[in-house]
């Protein structure tokens, strides 16, 4: 997608054929800063500290991280070490493990001298596949927005609520939850997006940044405002992303998603989850029980990052020192609260049999 009219992906391989570049998402939307990752420690740091974030993007970046490791030393020990280092960076999003497992399986069957080239090739395929999947999600999701648009009466705006950032910055391009919105807008459907702020890391600011750059009408709201908007008929549908989807269709996404799904169900508002197959974990069934929920530093709750009065970016304490805080990064929305799963192969009900029918080749 575009920044200042120039098309970017959220990561790319540099001309040296070894290092990758990313946008430092800890600085966005205040500063657009591109950084280069040239070794495994830099990749590990970038994922752990959320310079890159969003389930599909961390999967693709981790895949390149393993390729970078193979450039440094393609031996078995280094392959094992780099895999272990990268897979532990963020526990909830399954794409990370999915991408690393895919690469490791391929690499272990090869002699070390062939590993570097194949690793870069496969990382490139994973990144390209993500773009294709997100475009397809966009196409299928756009059809849903279009039918709402036609139902409301052509010319009337469709109001969509989203949580966190599931746009192009969270994937390699297009996004998951935002791809249908981009496509609807590009085809002349009038959309307006309610963007949840998404405390504590304020990923809503990234969503607002993306939508603004694309010329899409949007309004950032405090996290707790969604229920009020739904009560007053100001939300026509919700679309969010997923970091892990279970075999029966439970979804795990940024903390706060569940509360929006509860409110949507009460108000009979369709609640869609957009996801590429790389977020489906067919090995688990019960999301509440089986998905590890990442707990991050309490400092993310007790401080906010922003621009100070002198125009300088920085952190501000919002609580007295020593206030006890907890920082649960994700929550699980059980399948019963989800209207439909928008995938690259079409939209299905959040039911094991529907997911299995759509992805029979991926079920272990
Ligand atoms: O902690 P983050 O910012 O990595 O969390 C991101 C989300 O929760 C997204 O909604 C999810 O990864 C789906 S992205 C396409």
- Grouped pLDDT means (10 residues each) for the chain, 364 residues: 89 98 96 96 98 98 98 98 98 97 97 98 98 98 97 93 98 98 98 98 97 97 98 98 98 98 98 98 97 97 90 91 97 98 98 97 92
Residues in Cβ contact with 111 at an 8 Å cutoff, skipping those fewer than 6 apart? none
Q: Please report which helix (H) or strand (E) contains residue 195, including its range.
A: strand 191-196
The closest-lying atom of ligand 1 relative to the alpha carbon of residue 294 is 1
Q: How many CB atoms lie within 10 A of CB 101?
A: 13
Q: What local confidence, expressed as pLDDT, does residue 115 receive?
A: 98
Read off the tokens for 308. 């100070």
Q: What local confidence, expressed as pLDDT, does residue 345 receive?
A: 98
Q: Using a 6 Å cutoff on CB, does residue 89 contact ligand 1? A: no
Q: What local confidence, expressed as pLDDT, does residue 288 receive?
A: 98
Distance CA 64, CA 130 (A): 14
Q: What local confidence, expressed as pLDDT, does residue 247 receive?
A: 98
What is the DSSP pairing of strand 20-23 with strand 34-37? Answer: antiparallel
The answer to whether 90 and 57 have CB atoms below 8 angstroms apart is no
Distance CA 45, CA 204 (A): 23
Q: Using a 6 Å cutoff on CB, does residue 242 contact ligand 1? A: yes
Q: How far is the CA of 53 from the centre of ligand 1 (A)?
A: 7
**Among 196, 243, 250, 331, the one annotated catalytic:** 243
Q: How far is the CA of 55 from the centre of ligand 1 (A)?
A: 5
Average pLDDT, the chain: 97
Q: How far is the CA of 91 from the centre of ligand 1 (A)?
A: 12
The answer to whether 184 and 149 have CB atoms below 8 angstroms apart is yes
What does DSSP assign to residue 232? T
Question: Is 243 tagged catalytic?
Answer: yes
Q: How far is the CA of 290 from the centre of ligand 1 (A)?
A: 18
- Kindly report the pTM of this predicted structure: 0.97
Q: Using a 6 Å cutoff on CB, does residue 166 contact ligand 1? A: yes
Q: What local confidence, expressed as pLDDT, does residue 58 receive?
A: 98
Distance CA 269, CA 265 (A): 6
Residues in Cβ contact with 340 at an 8 Å cutoff, skipping those fewer than 6 apart? 144, 270, 272, 273, 347, 348, 349, 350
Burial (CB count within 10 angstroms: exposed 0-12, middle 13-18, buried 19+), residue 233: exposed
CA 348 to chain centre: 20
Among 23, 203, 271, 274, say which to mutate for ligand 1: greatest number of ligand atoms within 8 Å of CB: 203
Residues in Cβ contact with 357 at an 8 Å cutoff, skipping those fewer than 6 apart? 348
Distance CA 48, CA 59 (A): 12
Q: What local confidence, expressed as pLDDT, does residue 2 receive?
A: 84
Q: Pseudo-torsion of CA 163, 165, 168, 174, nearest 10°?
A: -10
Q: What local confidence, expressed as pLDDT, does residue 8 receive?
A: 94
Q: Using a 6 Å cutoff on CB, does residue 170 contact ligand 1? A: yes
Distance CA 177, CA 149 (A): 17
CA distances from 206 to 69, 178, 295 (A): 30, 12, 21
Q: Using a 6 Å cutoff on CB, does residue 243 contact ligand 1? A: yes
Q: What local confidence, expressed as pLDDT, does residue 180 receive?
A: 98
Q: What local confidence, expressed as pLDDT, does residue 159 receive?
A: 98
The answer to whether 106 and 63 have CB atoms below 8 angstroms apart is no
Q: What local confidence, expressed as pLDDT, does residue 9 receive?
A: 97
Using omega within 30 degrees of 0 as the cis cutoff, is the peptide bond preceding 315 cis? no
């Amino acid at each position: 997608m575009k920044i200042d009219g120039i098309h970017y992906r959220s990561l790319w391989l540099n001309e040296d054929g070894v290092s990758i570049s990313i946008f430092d998402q800890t600085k966005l939307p205040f500063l657009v800063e591109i950084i280069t990752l040239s070794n495994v420690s830099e990749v590990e740091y970038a994922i752990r500290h959320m310079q890159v974030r969003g389930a599909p993007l961390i999967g693709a970046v981790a895949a390149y991280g393993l390729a970078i490791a193979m450039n440094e030393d393609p031996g078995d020990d280094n392959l094992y070490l780099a895999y272990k280092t990268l897979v532990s960076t963020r526990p909830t999003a399954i794409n990370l493990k999915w991408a690393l497992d895919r690469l490791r399986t391929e690499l272990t069957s090869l002699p070390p001298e062939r590993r570097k080239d194949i690793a870069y090739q496969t990382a490139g395929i994973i990144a390209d596949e993500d773009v294709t999947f997100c475009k397809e999600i966009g196409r299928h999701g756009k059809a849903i927005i279009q039918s709402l648009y036609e139902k409301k009466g052509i010319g009337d705006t469709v109001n969509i609520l989203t949580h966190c950032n599931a746009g192009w910055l969270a994937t390699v391009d297009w996004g998951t939850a935002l791809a249908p919105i981009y496509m609807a807008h590009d085809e002349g459907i009038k959309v307006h997006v309610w963007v949840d702020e998404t405390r504590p890391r304020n990923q809503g600011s990234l969503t607002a940044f993306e939508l603004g750059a694309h010329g899409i009408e949007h309004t950032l709201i405090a996290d707790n405002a969604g229920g009020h908007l739904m009560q007053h008929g100001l939300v026509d549908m919700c679309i969010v992303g997923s970091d892990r989807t279970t075999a029966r269709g439970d979804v795990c996404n940024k903390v706060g998603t569940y509360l929006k799904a509860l409110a949507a169900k009460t108000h009979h508002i369709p609640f869609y989850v957009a996801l590429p197959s790389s977020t489906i974990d067919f090995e688990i069934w019960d999301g509440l029980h089986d998905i590890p929920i990442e707990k991050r530093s309490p400092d993310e709750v007790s401080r906010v990052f922003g621009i100070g009065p002198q125009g300088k970016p920085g952190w501000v304490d919002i609580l007295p020192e020593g206030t006890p805080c907890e920082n649960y990064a994700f929550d699980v929305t059980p399948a019963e609260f989800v209207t439909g799963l928008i995938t690259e192969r079409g939209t299905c009900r959040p039911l094991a049999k529907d997911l299995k029918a759509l992805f029979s080749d991926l079920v272990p």
